[in-house]
Amino acid sequence: MATVNYAVRCFVTNPSAKNPSKPRPFVVRCSVPLSPSHDASTAVQERPWKVADARLVLADGSIWRAKSFGAPGTQVGEVVFNTSLTGYQEILTDPSYAGQFVLMTNPHIGNTGVNFDDEESRQCFLAGLVIRSLSISTSNWRCTKTLGDYLAERNIMGIYDVDTRAITRRLRQDGSLIGVLSTEQSKTDEELLEMSRSWDIVGVDLISGVSCNAPYEWVNKTNSDWEFNSGGRGGDNFRVVAYDFGIKQNILRRLASYGCKITVVPSTWPASETLKMNPDGVLFSNGPGDPSAVPYAVETVKEIIGKVPVFGICMGHQLLGQALGGKTFKMKFGHHGGNHPVRNLRNSRVEISSQNHNYAVDPASLPEGVEVTHINLNDGSCAGLAFPALKLMSLQYHPEASPGPHDSDTSFEEFIQLMKQAKQAA
């Protein structure tokens, strides 16, 4: 029977010796018998812990070894970092992350598992998840499965045991980078690097891949267990048409909780059909990618503004900016997190907001009459617009805050008031 021999060199100190600080070396040798079905090379390779089996190759040439979880394979995407401390399931199911690898700066992920209630859309649209430490256990009364099983079922790649702090610093310094995530050992580093450098997210229509295919009615309100702002409502109900550019379910729940009857329509739904429905207001939702890559959506916005009250969120905010004649630009590394401070210039109130975008509206390009209502206090970028003459309002961030704080929930009430005023003036 074959054996594997080990030799360990050890040191011991004798306190009674004349020189007790000088260690005395000795060697311990042992042999481990192997079964006939195993050879020495196999025994050495077997370990009781997972070893690095994945690579993240960035377009700048850096290669990051990691351990995989979720689905295997090879995937390309834009790497962005998210500073949220909680809410990874809402992030995973936010359609605005389509085409992107999300790197969580919070090091410990997966400890609460996943559950059905925290879904923000019908599936995971992001390209992959990058984390520092994957929890080995879950502890939450709502948990139904582990994060790894959840990603594997949805064919989403994930890696852990990677230096997320170093990657974040690189992204902050150099800007967002395209990367390739792979568990395929047959692919060389050079091949993966070439993939990262030959793919680009700029100018790609990502909205069409996340939008619904046909109109539907949304009726679900915020569950009573999670309702936090129900006082002072009632009165008129308003009919709202919501354009699905990648809409999150909690945006719809919040609108419904404020008494709105909502019809969700695809991103390509004609403006003429929307106006035939005679809505009290139109919502242009959040969504992924470059607003300049969807000129059809900009044209739809142009045909609707001025005819009914309008509320734009995130991508909807950017499309409104373009429809008004303004320009949008790609940010260095964008805003992603549930802890971004925003100042409401109308009342000087500071809101802690949930944000997810890589593009912003250039306020200097907007025509006269358009008011910048909010600014991001981290970099001074435009975070909200209003044009009273056209019954229009917009926010760059996510007022439904899923995940995130509820500071901005009053924006839905402002939209209600905008529709009420228009209805009274008609």
User: Active-site positions?
Assistant: 314, 398, 400
H or E stretch at 67: strand 63-70
The DSSP bridge pattern shows strands 327-344 and 371-376 to be antiparallel
How many C-beta neighbours within 10 Å does residue 251 have?
24
Is the bond preceding residue 388 a cis peptide, omega within 30 degrees? no
How far is 164 from 327, CA to CA, in rounded Å? 33
CB-neighbour burial class of residue 99 (10 A; exposed 0-12, middle 13-18, buried 19+): buried
Structure tokens at 5: 């021999």
CB-neighbour burial class of residue 215 (10 A; exposed 0-12, middle 13-18, buried 19+): middle
How far is 285 from 218, CA to CA, in rounded Å? 14
Structure tokens at 133: 């430490």
Which amino acid, one-letter code, is at 171?
A: L
CA-CA distances (angstroms) from residue 90 to 114, 202, 264, 318? 10, 25, 20, 22
Residue 381: DSSP 8-state:
-
How far is 336 from 250, CA to CA, in rounded Å? 18
Structure tokens at 23: 């260690």
H or E stretch at 419: helix 410-425
How many C-beta neighbours within 10 Å does residue 139 have?
9
Enumerate residues 6+ apart whose C-beta is below 8 A from 421: 391
Give strand pairing partners of 242.
264, 283
Q: Are 54 and 33 in contact (CB under 8 A)?
A: no
Nearest CA-CA partner of 59 in 95, 106, 104, 101: 101
